[in-house]
Amino acid sequence: MTTLRVPVVEKILSANDRLAEQNRARLDQCGIFGLNIMAAPGAGKTSTILRTIEALSSGTPGSPIALGVVEGDTAAVTIDADKIIAAGRPAVQINTGGECHIDAVMLSGALNQLPLDQIELLIVENVGNLICPAAFSLGTHANVLISSVAEGDDKPYKYPNIYRGIDALIINKIDLLPYVEYNLDYFRRGVELLNPGVLTFPLSCRTGEGVERWVEWLLRKVKRET
């Protein structure tokens, strides 16, 4: 069993990567910028998406942007997707059947359920997990990790792989900094060791602090600006 495990895993990941390339080609053909958002449970993935939708609907320069969302969950619930739909944007819920991540096959199926000809930005909210999502490419154009102050400052040291593969990092719940034991410099040093110079957005979904800078970056990406 031990001798078979590595080849089997490699075969699964290779097949996933091939389908991820097809997903990317499909998004490119439709002129859609795809964003994969990863985080631990409770870090604020859905809250960040809702804040982003709010900013894109409130006269932020360069908006409005036609946005769609894919929500991943391990159970057959639609709580997060219902919130996105209530905010006026199309959303599809993926039930991973207990799997701790979304893979390229799941995303491919979700794309079939979205009005791709009406979307410029696709946000994929991955399953809340700091291990599995790092291993599976989806075909999106950027990977973003949300790490909340409430989680503690040791996460880059304990879950290094997910920090290595991201294009941007959101530090959420900075409004809690005065009230919790959290060394921001220690956290940043850990991130810098794994992903030197990664673009970082400290913000608070509760107060809105820092959200504007995040949305401005996202708009540039959607418009393919540097």
Give the model's confidence band at 199: pLDDT under 50 very low, under 70 low, under 90 confident, else very high: very high
Average the pLDDT over 113-124 and give the result. 96
Among 3.40.50.300, 3.10.28.10, 3.30.565.10, 3.30.430.20, name the CATH number for the domain at 2-222: 3.40.50.300
Boundaries of every domain in the chain = 2-222
CA neighbours closer than 13 Å in the CB half-sphere of residue 93: 16
Q: What is the pLDDT of residue 164?
A: 96
CA–CA separation, 29 vs 180, rounded Å? Answer: 46
The 10s digit of each residue's pLDDT in 136-151 is 999 999 999 999 999 9
Q: What is the pLDDT of residue 65?
A: 86
Q: What is the pLDDT of residue 57?
A: 83
Helix/strand/coil (H/E/C) assignment for every residue in 156-190: HHHCHHHHHCCCEEEEECHHHCCCCCCCHHHHHHH
Q: How much of the chain, in percent, has pLDDT values that exceed 70?
A: 91
Q: Which residue has the tokens 């850990």?
A: 190
Q: What is the pLDDT of residue 3?
A: 46
CA neighbours closer than 13 Å in the CB half-sphere of residue 189: 6
- Residue 86, SS3? helix
